[in-house]
Amino acid sequence: MKRSPDWCRIVMNADTKQIVEGLDVANIDALEISGKAWKNTKFRSYTNTRFPEFDICNPPKLNKTYDLILAEQVFEHLRHPVIAIKNIFNLLTPGGHVMVTIPFLLKVHGSPEDFQRWTPDGLRHFLSDAGFINVDVRSWGNRQCVTAYMDHESLPAFDPLIHSLHNEPDITMQIWAIAKKL
């Protein structure tokens, strides 16, 4: 799985990889609605789509359900996130999981539009209200990374000689969650 070297995503990417690898990937049919970052994971089957071409708010009819749906850096771009999460819920097999990653303290960025951010508590309640159980929400960020990011046009690449991966929970840049459908 090729992952972003962006400083603000290092911890999130390592943790989401560990979470997914903790599942029985060899027996998982996975749908990624955010690109191809997970394509090299040894899933039983893997389907990748890309938002906005694949609109999870109004998805095409899929004649299949999935054991894992990955939505990385998508929900901030959705005008109707409640509709999207209900569609994801319906596309999951019983016992299936959804993995969501979203930015918090990042610049507004269109793809094609940018609508919202959630706090860790907000994402937890959003997923619980949609019917998911065992909602595990995590976050990362620190002042040094926020300051560096705000001073540049793009996400700075991580340099271990000068950058810190220390987490300051009150300075959240990225939020991620795994949740299960009963």
For the beta carbon of residue 45, count every other beta carbon within 10 angstroms. 11
- What share of the chain in percent tops pLDDT 70? 97
pLDDT of residue 24 exceeding 70, the answer is yes
Contact in structure between 179 and 97 (CB atoms under 8 Å): yes
End-to-end CA distance of the chain: 28
Rounded Cα–Cα distance for residues 108 and 57 (Å): 21
Instruction: Domain 7-181: state its class.
Output: alpha beta
Contact in structure between 33 and 17 (CB atoms under 8 Å): no
Extents of the domains making up the chain: 7-181
Helix H or strand E segment including 19: helix 10-21
Q: Would you place residue 35 in the very low, low, confident or very high pLDDT band (cuts 50, 70, 90)?
A: confident
Calculate the average pLDDT of the chain.
92
Mean pLDDT of 147-167: 86
State pTM to two decimals: 0.93
Mean pLDDT of 51-75: 91
pLDDT at 2: 45
pLDDT tens sequence across 72-92: 999 999 999 999 999 999 999
pLDDT at 54: 87
pLDDT of residue 1 exceeding 70, the answer is no
- What share of the chain in percent tops pLDDT 90? 76
Q: Would you place residue 6 in the very low, low, confident or very high pLDDT band (cuts 50, 70, 90)?
A: confident
pLDDT at 5: 66
Q: Would you place residue 120 in the very low, low, confident or very high pLDDT band (cuts 50, 70, 90)?
A: very high
